[in-house]
Structure 1
């Protein structure tokens, strides 16, 4: 059975089909999607923290039987008395964090029941019909304010990172695709070379008998047969490995056989360097990550600065409560309940610890800012270099394709000359080597072209073939 007929029985896959499969079925794409979903749920949790929360706290059963110390006014002595009590409690609270000030405002209601057993049994209820309160740190570090800046930014970074990683999946898929294409090519060339080498060796034996070639040429022809067999065995092993790698990556059955088909031609366009740079700095997550690092450094400075000062917390509440021996009366004629509490913490002596923490945070912030500038310079150089290489690679693909055509024609001419006795074995070997090398070089140039393209797409978050931003194709 010929190699062509074997290929016809296999399922053909194009580069675009491999890329589509990689995005939908590869383990890498699955991991990236779930990583993004985790970030999305984290952001939703942050959004929920900014909304009012309603909670119910209950202690339905708290029984206590023990001896407790009490003062006897008759004997004027402390003595132990047995005590039995059953306590139940419930509280419902509606609270809201205040991002602007860092405080918390709440409305709550509670009900408690206490029953004592023994010689002097009793039962009573305590209720707070409604209470409004505020807990507010004064002059302190406001964590809510920084979260309101950082959390939305982190979610935007998670989106960009998801897109970036998906483009990295494309780059990996391109590499695996062309690795198998090269392995296929090597098998095809080695199979053809083995057939030709054997045919030429048989021809050489006949010509040697009539003294048309020297013994040294006949030995070289025999050596070529052995080389072809060895090379074919190696290329078959390499093809098996590349097929396995691609099948695993695309989540195909490991034993499935797919024949990869080369793209017809490279697209007829070049990428403008300035446009690519503008898109990269506008869309890439680098700038967002820099902003996050700077804001986090600013937050550390702010926290360290506020920690150097005295800490003050204000707690204010107003409510209506009542106490009674019956449940019904516990909610009748409630009286005012008021609370105002101011707590202070003043640092007196810490041996310069707070000052050191503050200065260290300032230094770290300056390092981050300087590092950010260097990262921008490196990023600009990387994008520019990739675009220049891509634009040049298109010409290299055309040159490699033309060289492949010329080398193939040269080999066929030399083969006919050898059959006519007008070319030596060395000339035939040289033409064959150049033919094989030119075919490999053409495939390699195609691989480089598409790797450059998808790398630039990864850096700019822009599909230059369709003229669309990558974000437009995803539903976040």
Structure 2
């Protein structure tokens, strides 16, 4: 029998140790790191960054020469009816079976400084006649040089070269901001769960203490040392504490499930949160915070881009005012060649051709349509300038206020920590004095309430501090703890 009891005790001890080992303890930095690696918010940020990367590569590829190979074939294997004029002027109707194939290779290049398109092209054609008699012939255009200038008044490619790189730089900074926003959200979920967990532990302790006091008070009531009213008051406090514990347990489960969902963890994952033990103690200089925000934030580039886009709209309105000057030039060698029956013969000989076209369009009467379109674009540019200036002021003000908030929260956290320690000590002293009959149950309940409020106040101050910490990081994209810019690399799929 003793051996069997020893075996059961050992088995229980092993089960408890296994359960403890399976439970994952997490601090704030663990939650933030996991959120920035595997949360749905992280994958959304990476998808947006990749989308911007591919858009920028698409723009860069559009600036490079484009080589295009074309092949066309038109054939009538069953034959078609054609009319052929004879030397004597008569029209003879014949049925012919033919195949006409064309192979072309062209190279195009956008000229971004002018907005024109330069191209080089070479074509080779083959014509096969199968009936009424079999015949094959070739034609070739060895080379053709073309330049087409749609208009000189508006160049979309030049504006694209200014705006597209700016948008790409915006996206890289936006990716860093997105991950810092993930850290801020992770902090909010962490402290929501930690606050609920702390509340549950407070009520668990209250139930234990109140239950002990009730048992002691019941014995003292049986001895006639306290009144029945005081015993009933303690019993009521015990019932209220148990009800509060049930509610706190439910709230903790809800907060934990929200945290697991945010971290993309299984809903049955066994985790326990612990208080952060490495609270930073540095101050953030206001001037440095504003300067770093101006150097690192996406919004600064956005302000510049919005101004450029407004100027682009004005330029486009002017370019589409009705005045047009188009230019087209072509030079090349074309012809059937000296001997069209062979490919080599098709490329020998031929004539050099040149063509130059200029088109001018001047609106004689448009009832002020073009002028008002330009005025509308200028008015919209002025409106955007006002909006951007207001956004710039709000941007600097937000950085300034949040930096002050962070520096103040550090002091508030120190006060809340001291208040929690004092309230805990006062409650223990008050409980001991109640046990020896020096004070009433009312004083004990008041001390307990103050203890609970101080504990929650400490968690709230801790939450506010870390919220301010990650907010300053997001607004400046600067790590003041390590004194360096915040950088993240994303994996290209």
Match of 1:129 among 113, 120, 142: 142
Match of 1:347 among 363, 367, 371: 363
1: CA distance, partners of 2:438 / 2:374? 87
The equivalent of 1:407 in structure 2 is 423
The equivalent of 2:172 in structure 1 is 159
Q: Secondary structure at the match of 2:461?
A: helix
Kindly indicate whether residue 291 of structure 2 is the aligned counterpart of residue 278 of structure 1.
yes
2: CA distance, partners of 1:461 / 1:102? 38
Q: Secondary structure at the match of 1:253?
A: coil
The equivalent of 1:389 in structure 2 is 405
The equivalent of 2:100 in structure 1 is 87
The equivalent of 1:269 in structure 2 is 282
Match of 1:373 among 376, 389, 410: 389
2: CA distance, partners of 1:171 / 1:164? 10
The equivalent of 2:27 in structure 1 is 14
Kindly indicate whether residue 321 of structure 2 is the aligned counterpart of residue 321 of structure 1.
no
Would you say the 8 A contact 2:97–2:132 is kept in 1? no
Residues 98-247 of structure 1: pairs in structure 2 closer than 5 A: 98-116=111-129, 118-119=131-132, 123-247=136-260
1: CA distance, partners of 2:184 / 2:261? 16
- Judging changes above 3 Å, is the alpha-carbon distance between structure 1 residues 8 and 393 closer, same or farther for their aligned structure 2 residues? farther
Kindly indicate whether residue 56 of structure 2 is the aligned counterpart of residue 43 of structure 1.
yes
Q: Secondary structure at the match of 2:320?
A: helix
Would you say the 8 A contact 2:153–2:318 is kept in 1? no
Would you say the 8 A contact 2:260–2:267 is kept in 1? yes
Would you say the 8 A contact 2:46–2:490 is kept in 1? no
Would you say the 8 A contact 2:98–2:130 is kept in 1? yes
The equivalent of 1:421 in structure 2 is 437
Q: Secondary structure at the match of 1:308?
A: coil
- Judging changes above 3 Å, is the alpha-carbon distance between structure 1 residues 417 and 113 closer, same or farther for their aligned structure 2 residues? same
1: CA distance, partners of 2:52 / 2:401? 33
Stretch moving more, 281-290 or 304-313: 304-313
Kindly indicate whether residue 472 of structure 2 is the aligned counterpart of residue 459 of structure 1.
no
Would you say the 8 A contact 2:117–2:147 is kept in 1? yes
The equivalent of 2:9 in structure 1 is none
1:348 is displaced (CA, Å) by 4.0
1:346 is displaced (CA, Å) by 3.7
1:350 is displaced (CA, Å) by 3.8
1: CA distance, partners of 2:372 / 2:247? 65
Q: Deviations over 1:239-259 (max 9, x none)?
A: 111111111222222111211
Unaligned runs of 5+ in 1: none
- Judging changes above 3 Å, is the alpha-carbon distance between structure 1 residues 8 and 87 closer, same or farther for their aligned structure 2 residues? closer
Kindly indicate whether residue 404 of structure 2 is the aligned counterpart of residue 398 of structure 1.
no
1:119 is displaced (CA, Å) by 4.5
2: CA distance, partners of 1:437 / 1:72? 111
- Judging changes above 3 Å, is the alpha-carbon distance between structure 1 residues 125 and 212 closer, same or farther for their aligned structure 2 residues? same
Q: Secondary structure at the match of 1:328?
A: helix
Q: Secondary structure at the match of 1:51?
A: coil
Q: Secondary structure at the match of 1:133?
A: strand
Unaligned runs of 5+ in 2: 1-11
The equivalent of 1:249 in structure 2 is 262
Q: Deviations over 1:216-260 (max 9, x none)?
A: 222211111111111111111111111111112222221112111
- Judging changes above 3 Å, is the alpha-carbon distance between structure 1 residues 117 and 7 closer, same or farther for their aligned structure 2 residues? closer
The equivalent of 2:350 in structure 1 is 334
1:452 is displaced (CA, Å) by 0.5
2: CA distance, partners of 1:349 / 1:69? 50
2: CA distance, partners of 1:325 / 1:344? 44
Q: Deviations over 1:389-418 (max 9, x none)?
A: 111100100000000000000100111111
Would you say the 8 A contact 1:322–1:332 is kept in 2? no
Would you say the 8 A contact 1:109–1:130 is kept in 2? yes
1:313 is displaced (CA, Å) by 2.1
1:328 is displaced (CA, Å) by 2.6
Q: Deviations over 1:36-93 (max 9, x none)?
A: 011111111111111111110111444485456777886778x976554321111101
1:352 is displaced (CA, Å) by 3.3
User: What is the CA RMSD across the aligned residues, in angstroms?
Assistant: 2.3
- Judging changes above 3 Å, is the alpha-carbon distance between structure 1 residues 117 and 449 closer, same or farther for their aligned structure 2 residues? same
Would you say the 8 A contact 1:411–1:431 is kept in 2? yes
2: CA distance, partners of 1:437 / 1:59? 83
1:122 is displaced (CA, Å) by 5.0
Q: Secondary structure at the match of 2:69?
A: strand
2: CA distance, partners of 1:62 / 1:459? 67
Stretch moving more, 176-185 or 61-70: 61-70
2: CA distance, partners of 1:116 / 1:152? 55
How many residue pairs were aligned?
Answer: 472
- Judging changes above 3 Å, is the alpha-carbon distance between structure 1 residues 108 and 332 closer, same or farther for their aligned structure 2 residues? same
